[in-house]
Amino acid sequence: MLYLASQSPRRRELLAQLGLQFGLLDVDVPEQRQPGEPPEAYVSRVAREKAGAGLLAVVANPSAVVLGADTEVVLGDEVFGKPADADDAARMLRRLSGRTHRCISSLWLVSAGREAHATCVTDVRFEELTEARIAAYIATGECFGKAGAYAIQGRAAAFVAHLAGSHSGVMGLPLHETARLLRDFGLMD
């Protein structure tokens, strides 16, 4: 049985698009970057820890396969997590304004006897954002709980001048890479 180790409604919606039945696991994994840890390694480690924590929760089911994922917004070497408050969200959006950043999504699929992973990197360029647009966006509340203080599937889609990579990866679950891992595990055709 497939399980998704995530509290994200977007990841649930995206995984459902693949037409699979799956269970949900509520895991609590600290998302703390280690000193000197490269952004890609950090995102991969957190995704693997989520999958591992999920597998521990269903260890009694020998056929369990758990999908863990993490997505972060990265500008240079700076990782933008979820904003702490409106001021933090505004700071992030100002830094992303008029620049190209990377959205790194990492996936780990684990079972009792096997594991595999994939990483998807998408380049996203925001147009220049005025203070008024930033304030209006923050007022919607959509920025909270989102890496980089934006949701590409919502109003922030209007900020994106160019995207090179996976739209679903920016949302939190790159479907091409997810489907490939699931096929490799024999969970999809």
| Positions marked active-site | 70
Residue 129 CA neighbour count, 13 Å, CB half: 26
Q: Give the H/E segment covering residue 30.
A: none
Note the helical H segments in 58-184.
86-96, 131-140, 167-171, 175-184
CA distance linking residue 122 with residue 99, whole number of Å: 14
Residue with token string 């590409």:
152
Residue 57 CA neighbour count, 13 Å, CB half: 22
Contact 44, 109 (CB under 8 A): no
